[in-house]
Amino acid sequence: MKNLRVILISGLSGSGKTTAIKALEDIGFYCVDNLPILLLPKFLELCEQSEGKISRVAVVEDIRGEISYPASPAHPEVKQKEGEDFFDDSRRIIQSLQKEGYPITLLFLDSSDPILMRRFSETRREHPLAFGGSVLEGIRLERERLHGIRDMANQVIDTSQFNVHQLKEKIQEYVQEGAFGGQMTITFLSFGYSFGLPYEADLLLDVRFLPNPHFVEELKRFNGGDPRVADYILQWEETKEFLERTQEFIRFLLPLYLRERRTHLTIAVGCTGGRHRSMVVVNRLAEMLRDDLTKKGMVLTVQHRDAERG
């Protein structure tokens, strides 16, 4: 394993990549914004030759680098084909460097379309893929082109609800919590479909098939943290079977994610409003898995995104 800590930051324009790179620079990372992907192997090689002066690096790789380059003699696996997507080459370079022993972690920043449009409006910047058209068209095209890179990411962070200071804190927390030490953090997240899908979700579970306490007069004003709501949802056979099958599925998946060097996994559970069924299921799954995951050195966290809405 190479003795060089590497973070690649990618994501949508306007999602906060500049803030992220500055946050890492503040805690001692050597940072480069928009380094062409073809130059990444040479850049890391030079960093290794710094005799320990550079031990942690962060590089932004985004849509601005989507241009054609000739193949590299050092990495002949990177070949430009007519019409080939630039990020297909990014994928091959990253995987090749990982095989050489570089502990590369890819962090992807995402945000909702309305938030991105608002940010572009506030800054009066032009979207790099708008090409004279609407900002929304540019966002949708960029999201499509970055889909493969997003799927490769070790961690996806939805920055929609973060201000600059909160995002900086989130980035630094992610890096400093030991994400590169082989430890895996599993987040169970409850949400409501009425308020949109969580962009950071790796796995998405829909529990709208379960009986809904919203239609029980004495329960609807409480959320899933109330024992009465939990007892109501957990009493049904379909709830019990769903929980058993789901925990078995998660236990099956975790070693496979670890094998792929995933350090974070977000399992999102959704119901209509995010206040009843999804909260109860998330709490119960965490309870069922916590002891076993802790013994294996994993960190388990629980978040309820929409518990106070509606």
Q: What is the pLDDT of residues 255-268, one digit of tens each?
A: 888 877 677 889 99
- CATH 3.40.50.300 residue ranges for the chain: 5-176
pLDDT at 68: 40
Distance between CA 170 and CA 32 in Å, rounded? 20
Distance between CA 221 and CA 126 in Å, rounded? 45
Report the run of H or E that residue 151 belongs to, with start and end: helix 147-152
Question: Do the beta carbons of residue 180 and residue 241 sit within 8 Å?
Answer: no
Count of residues making up the chain = 310
pLDDT at 35: 87
**CATH code given to domain 5-176:** 3.40.50.300
Q: Is the pLDDT of residue 34 over 90?
A: no
Half-sphere exposure (Cβ direction) of 179: Cα atoms closer than 13 Å:
23
Distances in Å between the Cα of 303 and the Cα atoms of 71, 203, 225 are 45, 15, 12
Tell me how crowded residue 215 is: count the other CB atoms within 10 A of its CB: 8
Q: Which residue has the tokens 């959704």?
A: 270
pLDDT at 297: 79
Q: What is the pLDDT confidence band of residue 80, given thresholds at 50, 70 and 90? A: very low
Question: Do the beta carbons of residue 265 and residue 184 sit within 8 Å?
Answer: yes
Total-model pTM: 0.60
Question: Do the beta carbons of residue 242 and residue 163 sit within 8 Å?
Answer: no
pLDDT at 85: 60
Question: Do the beta carbons of residue 115 and residue 160 sit within 8 Å?
Answer: yes
Q: What is the pLDDT confidence band of residue 177, given thresholds at 50, 70 and 90? A: low
First-to-last C-alpha distance (Å) of the chain: 50
Which tokens is 206 given? 């829909």
Q: Is the pLDDT of residue 173 over 60?
A: yes
Phi then psi for 116, rounded to 5 degrees? -60, -40
Mean pLDDT of the chain: 85
